[in-house]
Amino acid sequence: MAYDADCIFCKIIRNEIPNTVVYEDDVVKAFLDITQVTPGHTLVVPKTHVADIFGYDADLAAAVFSRIPKIAQAIKASDPAIIGMNIVNNNGKVAYQSVLHSHFHLIPRYQPTEGFAMTFTDNSADYTPEQLQQVAAKISAQLSAE
Ligand code: 5GP
Ligand code: ZN
C-alpha cells in the first residue's frame, strides 16, 4: 500500500487527522467531504496513494470502481429527499483537482439548483466530421499501441 507522508488523504486513511467515515474496507475509504457541497457529499479514495486516474491499472480500477455503486446506493437510501447524484473525478489542477490523491466525489442531489453546478459548452459547430474522425483516430492509435 503506497503512502505519501505529505498527503492529506493518506493521513485521513490512517486516521492521523480527524475524518467522518462512511465506509471502509481493504481497498477504499469513504468519508464526508469537509465542504458538504450538498448534504452527504462523500469522497471515495483508494487506500493506496495514487495521484490521479493516469496512475491506475485495470486491477486497481476494478477494485475501486466496484465499490462505488454500493456506496452511492447507500447514500441515496439514507435520505428520501435525494433524487439524483453527480459522481465527479477531477484529474490534474487544470481539471480542478486540489488534493493529489485520487478521489471520487459522490454528490447527492436534492433539487435542480443547489451547491453544485456543471456547464457543458456545445462546441460541435467547430468540428467537421473529418476532424472528429482524426481526433478519434489519434486516441484509438494509443489504445491499440498498448
Ligand atoms: P478536488 O478539488 O481535488 O477534486 O477535491 C478535493 C476535496 O477534498 C475538496 O472537495 C475538499 O473539500 C476536500 N478536502 C480537502 N481537505 C479535506 C480534509 O481535510 N478533510 C475532508 N473531509 N475533506 C477535505
Ligand atoms: Zn495519498
pLDDT digits (tens, 9 = 90+) for 64-97: 999 999 999 999 999 999 999 999 999 999 999 9
Residue 12: C-alpha distances to residues 16, 36, 58 (Å):
6, 17, 25
Q: Catalytic: 49? A: no
| CATH superfamily to which 8-116 belongs | HIT-like (3.30.428.10)
Torsion from C-alpha of 88, 94, 96, 100, nearest 10 degrees = 90
Using alpha carbons only, what angle is made at residue 84 by residues 82 and 86, rounded to the nearest 5 degrees?
A: 120
Best mutation site among 98, 101, 104, 105 for ligand 1 pocket (most ligand atoms within 8 Å of CB) = 98
Chain segment 74-83, per-residue pLDDT in tens = 999 999 999 9
Question: In the prediction, which pLDDT does 145 show?
Answer: 85
What is this structure's pTM?
Answer: 0.97
Chain segment 21-50, per-residue pLDDT in tens = 999 999 999 999 999 999 999 999 999 999
Question: In the prediction, which pLDDT does 19 show?
Answer: 98
Which atom of ligand 1 is nearest the CA belonging to 32? 22
* Cα four-point dihedral sign 87, 65, 93, 49: positive
Q: In what order do the strands lie in the sheet with 42-46?
A: 21-24, 28-32, 42-46, 104-109, 84-88
Ligand 1 atom 17, closest CA: 34
What are the strands, taking DSSP E only, across 47-127? Answer: 84-88, 104-109
